[in-house]
Amino acid sequence: MRQFLAAATALVVLAGVVAGAWLLLDSTLGGGDDADESPEPGDDATATAEAYAQAWTAGDHLTMAALVRDAPADFTAVHQQLRDALQPSRFEVDLRAVDDVADGRATARMEVTLALPFAESEPLSWQVDLELLRDRGQWAANWTPASVHPELRAGLVFDLETTSVERSPILAHDGTELAGSGTRVIFGFEPSAVSDPEAVVEAFEEALPGSGSTAERLLARNDLVDGWFYPVVTVSQAVADAASSRLREASGILRQTEGGRTTYAQDFALHVIGRVEEATAEDLERLGEPYEAGDEVGRIGLEREFERELTGSDLITVILRDRSDNAVRAELGTYQEQPSGPLTTTLDVTVQQAVENALTGIDATLALVAVDATTGAIRASASRPLTGYNRAFEGRYPPGSTFKVITAEALIADGLGAGDAVACPGDAVVGGLQVTNAGTLALGETTLRTAFARSCNTTFAQLGGVLGEQAMTEAAERFGFGVEPISPLTAAGGSFPVPADLAALAAASFGQAEVTASVLHLASVAAAANTGVWHQPYLLAADGPGESRQLAAGTLEPLRELMRAVVVEGTGTAADVPGTGEVRGKTGTAQAQDGIEHAWFIGSYGDLGFAVLVEDGGSGGEVAAPIARRFIEELIALERAALEGDAEPADGDDPAELDPDADLDPDAELDPDAELDPDAG
C-alpha cells in the first residue's frame, strides 16, 4: 500500500510540473484568453482622458496637444503660462470620472491641484470638464480655454497680485480696540488764538486727564511762534469725539488728523499694549526678512511680543487678468504665508481708564494692577514711570505686611477666630529674631481683628512661628505662591521659599525674609481673600481661565471681616470710600535693600482684586492707600457716567412713554418716600 501511495503522489507532482510548463509556454507565445488588451488612447474615451491627465501632470504639452482635436496654435503657450505665472511646486491632474459616453460624446471630469510655493499646506484646486468627441472611430479632446480653468477665456492670463495688510488690532475683552490702524487725532493749540491759557489747560485736563500738564508746560514757553500748531496729546478717533465738546469751549485749541497706528488713548495701558515705532538696526537684525529700514515695529508690550502675528505677511491672490487693460477678471484664491489676526486681551477699558485717571499727576515710581476676582482675568495694569520697565508684571518685591492676609488665613484654618485674644507687644524675639512694630505700636492683649487691622508685626511673627513651616507653606500655596501668571509678557508670581529656621519663619509670617511677590500676584491674593478662591492671573482671553485653588474651609468670612476692619478702623482708612461699604484691604510697608521701604496696599472692590505699590514710598497706609481710594472713586465715577449715558435718550428721541398694554405687577408696592408728580396721568 505504501508503495502504491508513493507512486500516485509522484504522478500528481509530474502532472503539475507539465501543466505549469504548458501555461508558461502559452504565456510566452501570447496565447490564452486572459491576455492584456487594454485600450489605447484614441480607441477609448477613458483611455484618452487618462493619457491627457497624465501628460498635463507631467507638463508634457506636446502629448496633450496630440490628444486634442484641432489644437489651437497657442495651446502649449496657454498651459505654459499657467506654470510660469504661478510657479507651482506640485502640479497634479486627477481624472475623477468619464460621464455620458454615448453618441460619440463624453465628458471627462478632472481635478487640477497646485501646491504654491507660498502656501504649501493650502493647495489651490479647481475642477474642469473636458469634452471628448469620437470621429471616424478615434476619440480626441474638444479643447477650449475653459478646459484649463472654468473661468479662463481668450485674452485672460494667470497672475499673482500682492496686497499689503494693515497691522491687526489689539482688543479689550469686550472687543473695544485698544490699538489699531486708523485715524489719529492730535489736539494742540495755536498761540495767537489762545486768549486764556488757564482755560486751555483746564479744558485739556478735564477732557483728557493728564494732558493739562503738557499744555501748561508748552504754553509757558517764551519762544512760541504765532501761526504754528503745538501738539499736546494724540488720541484715537473715538476718544477725540468724546473730548471735542469740552475742548471746543477754550479758544485756541485745534485738532489735526493723520493715519497710522492708533491707541485708545495716549499711553493707555502702555506697558501691556506697547507702542509701534520705526525699526532700529537692532530691530531689523532681530526680526530679519522681510523687515527693512523705515518699517514700523512693536517696541514694547504685546506690540513687540506679537509682531509677526499682528503684521503677518502680504496677501497673495491668484487671479485671472485681462491682457488688454490689466483688469482683474476673477480671483481664484487668496493666501497669507504668515497669517495675521486680532489679539484679544482680558483688559477692561473702564477699569484701565480708572487706573490711568487715578495715577494722573502722581510723580512716583509705582504700579497698580486689577484682576477679576472670579476668573483671574487681568482687567487693568499700569507702571510708572512710563519710560521704565513693566514693574507691575515683572517686579519682585517683599510683600511686607500684605502677606499677613496669608498668615491670617492659616491661623483661622487652625481654629483662631477674628475675635479671639492674641498678644501684640511692642517688640518680641522669635528664634533669635528681634521683631518690632511700626512706630511705637504696643497693644498688649488684643483680638486678631485688631492686630490685623493695626498691622502688628509681633503678633504675626509669634503666631506664624507657632503654626510651623508646613502650615505656612500650605497657606501660601493656597494663595498661588509658586504658580506663575499666564502671560506672553514676562510676569512674576509669588515665591515662598522654605524657611531655613524659626527666625526666617517668623520674618516670612509678616512678608519679609525671602518672600517675594509681584504686584500682579498680590492683586490675585486680594481677590482670593474676597471670594475664597485663588485664580491664576491671565492676560489673553484665549489663555484662560487658568488654575484655581480653594482657600481653607471656613476662612472666607473671617478674612473679609479682617480686611474690612483695616479700612474702617486700621492702617488703611485712607483707602475707604464712604457710602460703598465694599472696600476691603491690607496695607504694607516692606523693607527692601539699602533701607528702602516700599508702600503697599492690596484690596478688593466689587468683583475686582487690586494691588498698589509705590517704590521707596514708605508707609503703605499713608502713601499707597490714598491711591487705592482714587482708583475706586474714578471707577465709580466712570461706571456712573456710563449708566447715565445709557439712560439718556438719543438726540431727537422722545422720552419713553408708558405702554398702555403692559402687564402690571399686582404685588408691587409703592415707595412711601417717593415724590409724586401732580401732573402725572
- From the list 126, 153, 513, the residue with the least C-alpha distance to 327 is 153
pLDDT of residue 670: 31
Nearest to 316 by CA among 457, 497, 160: 160
Residues 422 and 543 placed together within one structural domain of the fold: yes
Residue 146 three-state SS:
helix
| Arithmetic mean of pLDDT, 189-216 | 92
- Higher pLDDT among residues 176 and 22, named by residue: 176
Owning domain of residue 89: 45-154
Q: Is residue 165 part of a domain?
A: no
Q: What is the pLDDT of residue 645?
A: 63
Q: Name 130's bridge partners.
A: 108
pLDDT confidence of 177, banded at 50, 70, 90?
very high
Q: Is residue 498 part of a domain?
A: yes
Do residues 208 and 140 both lie within one domain? no
- Residue 398 and residue 437 share a domain: yes
- Residue 624: what pLDDT? 98
Exposed/middle/buried for 120, CB within 10 Å: 0-12, 13-18, 19+?
exposed
Give 157: exposed, middle or buried? Use CB within 10 Å, 0-12, 13-18, 19+. Answer: middle
Q: What is the mean pLDDT of residues 560-588?
A: 95
Q: Are residues 127 and 175 in the same domain?
A: no
DSSP letters for 331-355: EEEEEESS----EEB---HHHHHHH
Burial 78-103 (b: 16+ CB within 10 A, else e): bbeebeeebebeebebebeebeeeee
* 84 and 226 both lie in a single domain: no
Q: Quick one: pLDDT at residue 289?
A: 80
Q: pLDDT-based confidence at 111, cuts 50/70/90?
A: very high
Confidence label for 16 from pLDDT (cuts 50, 70 and 90): very low
d(CA 622, CA 569): 14
Say whether both 205 and 292 belong to one domain: yes
Residue of 642 and 33 predicted with greater confidence: 642
Q: How far apart are CA 525 and CA 494, in angstroms?
A: 10
Residues 386 and 532 in one domain: yes
326 lies in some domain: yes
- The DSSP 8-state label assigned to residue 280 in this structure reads P
Please report whether residue 405 resides in a domain.
yes
Among the candidates 336, 363, 390, a domain finishes at 336
The vertex-451 CA angle with 448 and 472, nearest 5°, equals 65
228 contact partners, CB below 8 Å, separation of at least 6: 190, 191
pLDDT band of 395, cuts 50, 70, 90 = very high
3-state secondary structure of 458: helix
My answer on whether 586 and 475 are in the same domain is yes
Query: Is the pLDDT confidence value at 124 over 50?
Result: yes
Do residues 486 and 625 both lie within one domain? Answer: yes
Report yes or no: 276 and 251 within 8 Å, Cβ to Cβ.
Answer: no
Average pLDDT rounded to a whole number, residues 14-23: 39
pLDDT category, 646, cuts 50, 70, 90? low
The one-character DSSP state at 131 is E
Q: What are 427-456's pLDDT values in tens digits?
A: 999 999 999 998 889 999 999 999 999 999
pLDDT confidence band for 291 (50 / 70 / 90): confident
Q: Is the peptide bond before 290 cis (omega within 30 degrees of 0)?
A: yes
Surface-to-core class of residue 681, CB atoms within 10 Å of its CB (0-12 exposed, 13-18 middle, 19+ buried):
exposed
Q: According to the model, what pLDDT value does residue 198 have?
A: 95
pLDDT tens for 112-122 read 999 999 888 88
Based on its alpha-carbon atoms, the radius of gyration of the chain, rounded to whole angstroms, reads 39
Q: What's the pLDDT score for residue 23?
A: 37
Residue 187 pLDDT > 70: yes
Cβ atoms of 145 and 72 within 8 Å: the answer is no
Count of helix runs (H) and strand runs (E) in the chain: 21, 27
Q: Is residue 343 part of a domain?
A: no
Q: Of 474, 503, 458, nearest to 413 (Cα)?
A: 474
Residues forming beta bridges with residue 610, ordered by sequence position: 370, 603
Flag whether 9 is in a domain: no
Q: Examine residue 599 and state whether it is found in any structural domain, yes or no.
A: yes
User: Domain boundary residue among 125, 154, 183?
Assistant: 154
Per-residue pLDDT of 27-66, as tens digits, reads 333 444 444 578 888 899 999 999 999 999 999 999 999 9
Tell me the C-alpha distance between 179 and 167, whole Å: 9
Share of the chain above pLDDT 70, in %: 89
Least confident of 31-45, 120-134, 210-224: 31-45
The tens digit of pLDDT for each residue in 514-544 reads: 999 999 999 999 999 999 999 999 999 999 8
Distance from CA of residue 555 to its chain's centroid? 34
The separation between the first and the last C-alpha atoms of the chain, rounded to the nearest angstrom, is: 127
List the CATH number of the domain containing 483. Answer: 3.40.710.10
CATH of the domain at 119: 3.10.450.100
322 and 383 assigned to the same domain: no
Of 28-42, 65-79, 245-259, 625-639, the one with minimum mean pLDDT is 28-42
pLDDT top residue among 673 and 414: 414
C-alpha to C-alpha distance for 212 and 200, rounded to whole angstroms: 8
Q: Which of 530, 522, 495, 528 is nearest to 587 (CA)?
A: 522
Residues 264, 179 contacting (CB under 8 angstroms): yes
Residues 325 and 412 in one domain: no
Look at residue 173 and tell me whether its pLDDT is greater than 50. Answer: yes
pLDDT 10s digits, 377-392: 999 999 999 999 999 9
Say yes or no: 497 and 622 in one domain.
yes
Per-residue pLDDT tens over the stretch 496-510: 999 999 999 999 999
Mean pLDDT over the full length of the chain: 88
The answer to whether residue 623 sits within a structural domain is yes
Number of domains in the chain: 3
pLDDT digits 0-9 by tens, 302-328: 999 999 899 888 889 999 999 999 999
